[in-house]
Amino acid sequence: MSEGAITILCALLGSGAATAAVTAFLNDRAAKKRLDTGEVQGMRWLLQDRLEQLALHHLRLGRIDYEELRNWNRGHRIYHELLGGNGDLDNLKEALKRLLYTNEKEKES
Tell me the DSSP string of 23-88. Answer: HHHHHHHHHHHHHTSHHHHHHHHHHHHHHHHHHHHHHHHT---HHHHHHHHHHHHIIIIIS---ST
pLDDT at 50: 96
pLDDT at 47: 95
Which stretches of the chain score pLDDT less than 50?
none
pTM above 0.75, yes or no: no
